[in-house]
Structure 1
Amino acid sequence: MSINKLPKKQVSGYIVGMIPLTIILGVFRLGYIKFFYDSLGLNEVLFIIGMAIFMIINMLNDPLIGQWQDNTDVKKWGSRRVVYIKYFSPFLVIAFALMWFPWSTDAATPIGQFVMFLHFLISISIFDTLSNIVTMAWMALLPDMTSDLGERTRINFLGGILALFASFVVITVPTMVDNRQFFQIFNITVAVISYICYVVVVKLSKESPEHQHDRSPPLLTAIKQTVKSKSFMMFVGFNFFRTLIASIQLSYVFLFLILIGPENVGLYFLIVIIVGWSSSILCMKLRKKHGFKKLLLRFTTIQFIGGFILFFLVLIPSISIPAMWIGLAFSAFFGGAGVFGVIMQTLPIDEDEVKYGSRREGMFYGINALFTKPTESIGPIIVTIVLVLTGYVQNSPVQTDSAMFGIIFVFYFIVNIFVALSLIFVYFYPLEGEKLESLEEELNELHQKKREQLNIKTNLKNKL
């Protein structure tokens, strides 16, 4: 398929949405466990109970949100996606800013712990629901705007570059959480910046007119049609483990900094971002020659094999620190093929549109979240159990050898197991080669028919 570039204004409007996605979700993922569990001192049992309840809420709200957005009355609201960004982003940034003002700082008494638990559960649940509404609408814009794989990857990558610069705003979050007043002011500023970006997204983004009147079938039918897609369920399996890895690596950066030193937080993120970014550029250049699936399989396999070697090297005291830095760069480079996740995610939506005639991005993102959002709870629960078993001391820069081993075990063994499991789903992903080429041709033909039908309706309406 030839690359049909979208107007720069439209692309700019879309990728600006990457800024709030990076800084708001970045602060949340890097800071919320450090804030509630490590800084405020929420009890381990209450923390795990809260994460389990949050997991259920997280799972159930996304398919409902997706179905709701797919069946938006365009005549009433003017759009299928942008309307949700316009009206829900103000509530999102307010919920984010208020989250960091403790309801209780009394970790020593049962009532103090209970109030702290309520603050934890209610604030992260409200924030997550609002974030899902806004983010799901924003994500659905990209496959709606273009069916070209190269253009989708290019726009996603441009958003990644913007995210690279935006990420520098949040890289010091793990070290600023304990300075509570500064952290609160910082997050109010983040909320204001994010809202301004959402206003820009609303003003500049443009949805494809031929999809404005597409509708999703009733909820149960929509769910059945979605989960029957093999390509989609293979992506879900892949994304489940990738999200699980991210939930550990982002939320527990403060643990990794115990290994390499908190003064190295800037260098840590520079390596992760710049090396990973360089690898993604290389993978994009190689895609036409080798195909995205083959590259993703090769890079991830090397990442897995190298990861296990690094686990044993890190356990050798004389070379432990150098091995950690080498491992960080190694993992970032061979994780760069993850840039093709956007292709794996959007192709099943195209396949579904060809099969049923309507685009249903909301339901696909919602069902994906149904399966993958629990990882945001599962990851922290797994890590918390390991920390408790190995004797980790909350909010202490000095840890026992046992606790240090627990941290190494999490980042170099458990994470690597999840990398290996993600490979299985990439291997069985069916959309490649001739099947992919055929899908692209059928999708082009369908979109052309939709545009012709829309033109006929518009002309008839003008004549009347």
Structure 2
Amino acid sequence: MKPTERRVGYGTAIGYGVTDLFGGGAFAVIGTWLLFFYTTYCGLSVLEAGSIFAIARVIDAILSPIMGYITDNFANTWLGKKFGRRRFFLLISAPMMFLYALVWVTDMSYWYYLGTYLSIELLSAMVLVPWETLSSEMTNRFSERTRLSGVRMICSQLGGLLAVSIPGVIMQFTRKDNPMTYTYTGIIFACIFCLAVFTTWMCTWEAKDVREEFEPEPLGARSGNLWHHLKSLVLDLLSSFKIRMFRQHIIIYIFSFTALDVFGAVFTYYVVYGLHLDASAVSGYLTVAALASVPSTFGFMMLLEKMNMTPSGALRLAYGIIFCVLAFLFYVYITEMAVSVLLFSGVFAVFGFARAGLYYIPWNIYSFIPDVDEIVTKKRREGIFAGVMVLTRKSTVALAIMLIGIVLQESGFVKGQGVQPDSALDAIIGLLVFATAALLAVSFYMTFKFKLTRETHKMLIQEVARLKLGGNLQDCTPECQKVIKDLTGYQYQEVWGGRATHNAVRNEIAAG
């Protein structure tokens, strides 16, 4: 049985999705606690801590796309033929997850913290880039991809739940200001991540024996020269942005996720310095949101799969709710009104529902992008798109935290001080409410331009299948031609052998 003829049940989906305990959990812990940990227990200024994230981005800007390029072509190596072009990297990365525990050690030098954080960034590229491609490789059925995306995002939400709840639980056994809380957290998560990645390696497969006529060129086919490989990589990356749907999707994705990165990084400061509560309250409220996110992800999955809501409509629902939550937090701060724990918990349960949709829908959309690209390039380039997605995701986390550090530093924030000046409090509120809302507004606007639905995807898949069987371009219906133009940005006559083929696009970019 060919890989794409296998059915993807919920058991397989869970085996695939558990790796997002790492994808969601590792960066949820980093986004929520690491800046606070660095500036409170490690003796780093907010500017020094922010520089760690900035340096990591420069390195990752090269690494993630390279990983995508390598995995697209790794099947031509001996290791790739034996272990798989994607899954091989999961196998070797599982035992390396224990590097995560080293990040959360106190009383070390700046260079130690830089080195350990870089090791996690490198490890995450090795895992997330090849893993992201598997949902597209394992099946081309809309419902099964929706299931894979839904289950993986439930696992991601569980990772986020663990990220905010495990430190809170540990705080019950340690002093609330004990840095060992975070060290124990790192050890526990390292064990979870190791088991999760190994489980995915065991439960997944690749489509390595289908679409052979469209397999990527061997690593040495273009040239044995390293310069030519790097040039090909850059051209492939740039050509991915020629796809209209991918350009629209990346804007929605970057601005949505960066908005939540800003919110997550600043919320601790809002609670501790704005509401004058201890850090355990942060864990409590975010735990409520994470608990609500788990069933809510399934709810959004049903909205798309059973109720046929469009991805754009579901995103606008999520954005609207988050706007209301931000308005509530702003009102609480400026009026200094007392809010009961029950009301605050209810607000964060609603926030968790909306956040689930914001996380789930962009990653569900991602699994369909290689299908749109295929009708343009006649190739399957899951690795390239995964590389860009992972790069942008990790870049937004680090860039957001770096900019937050700069803003707080310039506003007069004093590390380790229990009471902050008004200028620092204003900066915290500005970042939490207005910066988050502005980023979400960009994504909200872009949803009105996004055209992917269940019906348009089905039409696209049927047209690709017809062309593969030797169908004539002139036989395509006007409705299908319009759908393809809306998704790809190209006139129908330019795709599948026309001006927009893979090599033509790459040559056009190189010439331009």
Which interval holds the TM-score relative to the shorter structure?
A: 0.7 to 0.9
RMSD: 3.2
Equivalents in 2 of 1:327, 1:9: separation in Å? 33
1:232 alignment partner AA? F
The answer as to whether partners of 1:30 and 1:174 remain within 8 angstroms in 2 is no
Equivalents in 1 of 2:95, 2:466: separation in Å? 39
Equivalents in 1 of 2:113, 2:78: separation in Å? 37
The answer as to whether partners of 2:311 and 2:361 remain within 8 angstroms in 1 is yes
> Which of 143, 149, 160 is the matching residue for 2:142?
149
Equivalents in 2 of 1:295, 1:19: separation in Å? 24
Equivalents in 2 of 1:284, 1:159: separation in Å? 11
Task: Note if 1:331 corresponds to 2:327.
Answer: no
The answer as to whether partners of 1:74 and 1:212 remain within 8 angstroms in 2 is no
What TM-score does the superposition give when structure 2 sets the normalisation length? 0.75
Task: Note if 1:158 corresponds to 2:151.
Answer: yes
The answer as to whether partners of 2:13 and 2:151 remain within 8 angstroms in 1 is no
Task: Note if 1:359 corresponds to 2:390.
Answer: no
Alignment of structure 1 residues 445-464 onto 2, 5 Å: none
2:251 alignment partner AA? G
Task: Note if 1:275 corresponds to 2:274.
Answer: no
Name the structure 2 match of 1:124.
117
The answer as to whether partners of 2:42 and 2:107 remain within 8 angstroms in 1 is no
CA-to-partner distance for each residue in 1:171-217, whole Å, 9 max, x for gaps? 24666595334533442333233222222222222222445852168
The answer as to whether partners of 1:387 and 1:406 remain within 8 angstroms in 2 is yes
Structure 1 residues 382 and 182, CA gap change in structure 2 (3 angstroms): closer
Equivalents in 2 of 1:45, 1:286: separation in Å? 43
Residue range with higher mean Cα deviation, 15-24 or 77-86 = 15-24
Structure 1 residues 163 and 329, CA gap change in structure 2 (3 angstroms): same
The answer as to whether partners of 1:174 and 1:254 remain within 8 angstroms in 2 is no
Residue range with higher mean Cα deviation, 339-348 or 126-135 = 339-348
The answer as to whether partners of 1:37 and 1:44 remain within 8 angstroms in 2 is yes
Shift of 1:140: 1.4
Equivalents in 2 of 1:24, 1:400: separation in Å? 32
Percent of aligned positions with the same letter in both sequences? 21
Shift of 1:364: 0.5
Q: Secondary structure at the match of 2:205?
A: coil
Equivalents in 2 of 1:372, 1:194: separation in Å? 19
Q: Secondary structure at the match of 1:289?
A: coil
Residue range with higher mean Cα deviation, 116-125 or 435-444 = 435-444
1:179 alignment partner AA? N
Name the structure 1 match of 2:194.
195
1:244 alignment partner AA? T
Q: Secondary structure at the match of 1:67?
A: helix
Structure 1 residues 374 and 182, CA gap change in structure 2 (3 angstroms): closer
List runs of 5+ in structure 2 lacking aligned partners: 223-231, 471-512
Residue range with higher mean Cα deviation, 47-56 or 62-71 = 47-56
Structure 1 residues 187 and 295, CA gap change in structure 2 (3 angstroms): closer
Alignment of structure 1 residues 305-316 onto 2, 5 Å: 307-308=326-327, 311-312=330-331, 314-316=333-335
Alignment of structure 1 residues 172-321 onto 2, 5 Å: 172=165, 179-181=178-180, 183-211=182-210, 214-215=215-216, 218-258=232-272, 259=275, 261-287=278-304, 288-301=307-320, 303-304=322-323, 307-308=326-327, 311-312=330-331, 314-318=333-337
Equivalents in 1 of 2:289, 2:191: separation in Å? 27
Name the structure 2 match of 1:136.
129
Q: Secondary structure at the match of 2:314?
A: helix
Name the structure 1 match of 2:8.
6
Equivalents in 1 of 2:284, 2:160: separation in Å? 13
Equivalents in 2 of 1:331, 1:247: separation in Å? 14
Equivalents in 1 of 2:111, 2:132: separation in Å? 31
Name the structure 2 match of 1:347.
368
Name the structure 2 match of 1:60.
62
Shift of 1:331: 3.3
The answer as to whether partners of 1:26 and 1:170 remain within 8 angstroms in 2 is yes
2:302 alignment partner AA? K
Residue range with higher mean Cα deviation, 405-414 or 322-331 = 322-331
Task: Note if 1:95 corresponds to 2:116.
Answer: no
Shift of 1:63: 0.9
The answer as to whether partners of 1:231 and 1:348 remain within 8 angstroms in 2 is yes
Alignment of structure 1 residues 386-401 onto 2, 5 Å: 386-401=407-422
The answer as to whether partners of 2:21 and 2:196 remain within 8 angstroms in 1 is yes
Shift of 1:350: 1.3
The answer as to whether partners of 1:247 and 1:375 remain within 8 angstroms in 2 is yes
> Which of 152, 163, 181 is the matching residue for 1:170?
163
CA-to-partner distance for each residue in 1:73-120, whole Å, 9 max, x for gaps? 3561221111001113323x132122223463xxxxxxxxxxx32223
The answer as to whether partners of 1:20 and 1:197 remain within 8 angstroms in 2 is yes
Name the structure 1 match of 2:86.
81
Shift of 1:4: 8.6
Equivalents in 2 of 1:268, 1:180: separation in Å? 21
The answer as to whether partners of 1:279 and 1:336 remain within 8 angstroms in 2 is yes
Equivalent residue pairs, number: 435
The answer as to whether partners of 1:16 and 1:197 remain within 8 angstroms in 2 is yes
CA-to-partner distance for each residue in 1:143-194, whole Å, 9 max, x for gaps? 2112223322222322333444454433246665953345334423332332
Alignment of structure 1 residues 366-381 onto 2, 5 Å: 366-381=387-402
1:283 alignment partner AA? F
Shift of 1:415: 0.8
The answer as to whether partners of 2:89 and 2:130 remain within 8 angstroms in 1 is yes
What TM-score does the superposition give when structure 1 sets the normalisation length? 0.82
The answer as to whether partners of 1:144 and 1:207 remain within 8 angstroms in 2 is yes
2:92 alignment partner AA? Y
Residue range with higher mean Cα deviation, 161-170 or 359-368 = 161-170
Q: Secondary structure at the match of 1:6?
A: coil
